[in-house]
Amino acid sequence: MEKRGKQPDPDAGLPPVTDAPADLLDMLRSLETELHQPATRGNAGRLAELLHDTFVEFGQSGRRYDKAATLRELPLEPRHGPVIQSDDYALRRIGPDAALLTYRSAHRRDDGRCERHALRASLWQRTSSGWRMVFHQGTPTAPFQPVGIQGRSD
């Protein structure tokens, strides 16, 4: 049997992480849910601040979006419509300046029914100007009753 030595630490030599995990989860959840708000979705300037220049999304619809398409299309969405609700947030550090945020979401209609249920994943990167979303994917899932954070309130 071959004897294996100790594996090198892939994080050795990286600067220490200054964000406490709970604080980082709260901050990234706040940025994520800001993207659910009609005021943010309609503001190309704020979207440009939140999305990394290399941003890519694989949408729940199956479409692929880059930052330019998102800045062009998202502000054109109707401001009134279903409320985006999300819950079950989890965070995984990928490195000192990257984190994967996962959660589930649904759109709640005015009549209370939920539709467009999805599992979601966003990769956030810390840059010199703050945390920016690099990648997002929405995957359709079986219906569930959201119990968490509302994405907007009118």
Within a domain: 11: no
Within a domain: 4: no
Within a domain: 91: yes
Within a domain: 9: no
For the chain, report the end-to-end CA distance as a whole number of angstroms: 66
Q: With beta carbons less than 8 A apart as the criterion, state whether 154 and 80 touch.
A: yes
Stated pTM of the model:
0.79
Give me the CATH number covering residue 36.
3.10.450.50
Within a domain: 8: no
Q: How many domains does the chain have?
A: 1
Within a domain: 48: yes
Q: Is the torsion defined by CA of 14, 50, 33, 55 positive or negative?
A: negative
- Per-residue pLDDT tens listing for the chain (154 residues): 444 455 444 444 444 444 556 799 999 999 999 999 989 999 999 999 999 999 999 988 889 999 999 999 988 887 777 788 888 999 999 999 999 999 999 888 878 787 888 999 999 999 999 999 999 999 988 888 766 654 432 2
Within a domain: 70: yes
Helix (H) / strand (E) containing 32: helix 21-34
50 contacts: CB under 8 Å, gap ≥ 6? 31, 34, 35, 40, 132, 133
User: How far is 77 from 135, CA to CA, in rounded Å?
Assistant: 21
Q: Which domain holds residue 116?
A: 21-150
In this prediction, residue 68 carries a pLDDT of 96
